[in-house]
Chains A and B, each alone.
Chain A
Amino acid sequence: MAGGQERILRRRIRSIKSTQKITKAMELIAASQIVRAQGRIAAARPYQEGMARIVLETALGDPAAAGRLLGTPEEVTRVLVLGIVADRGLCGGYNTSVFRATERLLATQEAEGIETRLVTVGKKAQGYFRFRGQAVEQSFLGMSERPTFADARDVAAAAVTPFVNGEVDLVVVVSTRFLSAGSQRVEVRQLLPLVDPRNGEQKADHQHEPGSRDIAPHEVDVKQGYTEFEPDAALLLVDLAPRAAETQIFAALLEASASELTSRQRAMAAATENAGELIKKYSRIMNRARQDTITTEIMEIVSGAEALRAGDEGDEAGLVIETTV
């Protein structure tokens, strides 16, 4: 019995060890990809900043024309929600926290009688919402780990077009923002109408940007009314809004992919550590089992010898001593 248990434990330890190797490898792969993902976020920033500057300039150029494309709509009856998660699991609470935020949003909107359409990125979202009977209008797969701008365009076609056509009043994005390697946060952000750059939020964002050479907001105010527009600001804004939204979707996808990788690295590091602990625990049990077997065997030998000695009296007393030592 004891020997059998030892064999079972040895097999289990071997299996945990190979799992540990896999989780370790996944951790290292994620870690190396994070660096690249961060590089991609940095490389995309000049375009986003340029876009933000142009939108601001244009909004200042023709405040009246901004109308439906900028700021918060007064009456919201139809909303499109874009949820961004991963294609794969094995990344801790990354997907679940976005799902929770999305469901909370959907629930409050339903309570307010707002008609909601849902578009998702990531294979996990497709499965999750289908299982819960939540209709998903369109679902994008295969881009979560390494999104390209072309991917962002495809997503924008599904998420932005209904707004441009006047089918929805508001487009919001639920995704994970990559604040730093150590901190990511799920956020619900308004995509369209564009957040009015004149009301601080984006300006505040900009000042956080270290080393950014943006012109300070007050300088822009001075220049107001002096910039030419080709075509005029109102027309330009109509062209600009979808492009700016596309840029923000791209940024959201990039940040989500970096967050996904960070979560995966963290989850896999924890899994590797857990496996190590399990191995330690099972090795202890196994060693004890082995020790038990040895002790039992010695006991058997000793008692066998005792019995022998009891059998032929006085015959070679030294034997007992030799076997027990």
Chain B
Amino acid sequence: MADDSLFQINLVTPERILLTGMASEVILRTGEGDVTFLAGHSPLVGTVQPGVVRVVRPEGDDVRVAVHGGFTQVEQGVPLDADGAGDDTTGSRVTLLVGVAELAEEIDVDRARAALEATEARVAELGGSANRTPAEGEEADPERVEAEAALRRAQVRLEAVDASSATTTA
């Protein structure tokens, strides 16, 4: 029952548990770069950067989630009872805490595209760009920072959808 190559994944937002269950792989972007968590990964606490999180299910299919920043924790020796068998096995658990997250399948592509165009126009108007790092000693314009964040969110959202439709058609 306890499969050593699997671990528990919980993707939690403040308002609900978005995704929970077993997984064999989780790929995400932390503050230090992209990482893949497999079962038995050593305990870790880190930040999650806005981007697409890919969760590979035991059956081999993936679930894609657009996340807009948060934290992740990997724990070992956590009691697992995901199959509901009531056995007291332990294993690893990956928790992702993200303020805002959307399952790729729940994203409305047309709306996301419209949002992207709108935010792009807004950012251009304020003279910023999505992946700009503020210049040294530059006064941060809160409006521009906000618009850039919105643009990044729109990009991430579309990225999640695109990647997800690519895998289903392939």
A152, CB-defined interface residue at 8 Å: yes
A231 near B99: Cβ-Cβ < 8 Å: no
- Bound together, the chains give a CA A226 to CA B75 distance in angstroms of 11
B45, CB-defined interface residue at 8 Å: yes
Known contacts being A152-B14, A240-B71, is A50 close to B97, with CB within 8 Å?
A: yes
B12 near A46: Cβ-Cβ < 8 Å: yes
- Bound together, the chains give a CA A46 to CA B47 distance in angstroms of 18
Q: How far is the CB of A165 from chain B (nearest CB, A)?
A: 13
Q: How far is the CB of A223 from chain B (nearest CB, A)?
A: 6
B45 near A57: Cβ-Cβ < 8 Å: yes
A40, CB-defined interface residue at 8 Å: yes
One of A50, A153, A233, A247 near B73 (C-beta < 8 A): A50
Question: Could you mark each residue 4-20 of chain B with 1 if its beta carbon is under 8 Å from any beta carbon of chain A, else 0?
Answer: 00000010111111000
B97 near A227: Cβ-Cβ < 8 Å: no
A contact residues, range = 20 to 34
- Looking across the interface, which residue of chain B has its beta carbon closest to that of A153? B99
One of A40, A57, A236 near B47 (C-beta < 8 A): A236
- Looking across the interface, which residue of chain B has its beta carbon closest to that of A240? B71
Count A-B pairs with CB separation below 8 Å: 87
Known contacts being A54-B71, A228-B42, A231-B31, is A239 close to B13, with CB within 8 Å?
A: no
Interface size, chain B (Cβ < 8 Å): 27
B43 near A228: Cβ-Cβ < 8 Å: yes
Q: How far is the CB of A243 from chain B (nearest CB, A)?
A: 7
Complex interface residues of chain A between 208 and 240 (CB less than 8 A to chain B): 213, 215, 219, 223, 226-231, 233, 236, 239-240
Chain B contacts for A247, CB-based, 8 A:
14
Chain B contacts for A265, CB-based, 8 A:
none
Q: How far is the CB of B113 from chain A (nearest CB, A)?
A: 23
A250 near B14: Cβ-Cβ < 8 Å: yes
Which of A61, A230, A239 is the most central at the interface, judged by chain B CB atoms within 10 Å of its CB? A230
Complex interface residues of chain A between 69 and 123 (CB less than 8 A to chain B): none
Chain A contacts for B10, CB-based, 8 A:
46, 50
- Bound together, the chains give a CA A54 to CA B45 distance in angstroms of 7
Known contacts being A46-B12, A149-B15, A215-B75, is A229 close to B45, with CB within 8 Å?
A: yes
* 8 chain-A/chain-B pairs, Cβ below 8 angstroms: A43-B15, A47-B97, A50-B95, A152-B14, A153-B99, A228-B43, A231-B31, A236-B47
Nearest 8 A-B pairs (CB), nearest first?
A230-B46, A227-B43, A149-B14, A228-B44, A230-B32, A47-B14, A47-B12, A50-B97
